[in-house]
Amino acid sequence: MKRLASSLFLIMILLAMLISPFMLGDYLTAMLFLIFTYVILTVSWWFFCSTTKYVSLGTAAFVGLGAYITALFCRPLSVPLAILLGGCITFLVAFAIGLVTLRLKGVYFTIFTFGLSEFLSNAILWYENIYVGTIGRIVPSLDVRTLYYAQLAFLLLSLLFIKLTLRTKIGLALKAIGESEDTAIHCGVNHVFYKSLGFAISSMLMGIAGGLLAIRWAYIDPRIIFNPLFSFQPPVMATLGGVSTFYGPILGAIVLSSLSEYLSLQLKEYYMIFFGIIIIVVIYLMPGGVSQLITIRRKGQAIK
């Protein structure tokens, strides 16, 4: 009965998302598009970082890389092909970087990934300023409803892909590395290869999300698309939702992105202060995240 109820609930949510653009205006549809984007970024970050226990702050680097590749190739190619190309190139770049840098552990890897985002941003800014003569790229845009359904489809595919990958040899290897990397090595796990592969898969999803975001914005430049908030918000969202479950990061991304949008409209000058206070209070009261409430409630029902 519980599985049936859960399935019906998910079907109802899916139907609601499918008809939302016809019921809501362009602003709310665009807001849902942004929420979907943050869910993809947060779950992609969670896929690699929660399993391996390696903390990455390079989300902005791969979002920006995917967006710029999409902007460069969307005219000679079609928009869908340019977005897929951005994801493929992001995968290859991240895999190559992982083979070199994932020998680093702890804070060293975290610092490197954040530095990578800053390096790419400044490198593209320097190149455009010196050799192109203009900063930024104009990207062919699509209507909000089309982009909404494209991002919704990619969100569902991403969640399914991550869920299935965690059950494969790749997912088991990443979890083994996270539990005890030394033990995994002694058991014959090629730790550098699997960490690099997991990092590349996570980055590829971020790159595709970045490509769709570039199409939505219609104009990008390094200062916009390599925004450090893209690097810091997914870890905060995953922590707020709860990293111990698959649905925790999804909840965290939905709650935090919605709250951020609401506060930015109501408190334009002070919303970051209230935003930070809310995050601190929630994490202090619920160290296990929002999903902790659901777990506690289920345990209480089981006892009854």
Is residue 39 in a domain? yes
- The closest alpha carbon to 64, from 210, 208, 200, belongs to 210
pLDDT bracket for residue 304 (50, 70, 90): very low
Is the pLDDT score of 105 beyond 90?
no
As a whole-number percent, the residues of the chain with pLDDT over 90 amount to 35
- Using the predicted structure, report yes or no on whether residue 254 has a pLDDT greater than 50: yes
Residue 253 lies in a domain: no
Domain contains 63 = yes
Is pLDDT above 80 for 46?
A: yes
Average pLDDT of span 110-139: 87
Alpha helices in 128-186 (DSSP H): 144-165, 169-179, 181-186
> How many structural domains comprise the chain?
1
In terms of Cα–Cα distance, which of 235, 263, 262 is closest to 249?
Answer: 235
Tell me, yes or no, if the pTM score tops 0.85. yes
Residue 167 domain-assigned? yes
In-domain check, residue 119: yes
Residue 194 belongs to some domain of the structure: yes
Which pLDDT score, from 0 to 100, does residue 95 have?
95
Flag whether pLDDT at 38 surpasses 90: yes
pLDDT in tens, 143-189: 888 999 999 999 999 999 999 999 999 999 999 998 888 888 888 88
Domain containing residue 56: 27-227
Instruction: State the pLDDT confidence band at 298, using cuts at 50, 70 and 90.
Output: low
Closest by Cα among 34, 210, 90 to 139: 210
> Does residue 73 lie within any of the structural domains?
yes
Task: Select, from the ranges 12-16, 105-109, 118-122, the one with the highest average predicted confidence (pLDDT).
Answer: 118-122
Report, as an integer, the average pLDDT of 233-251.
86
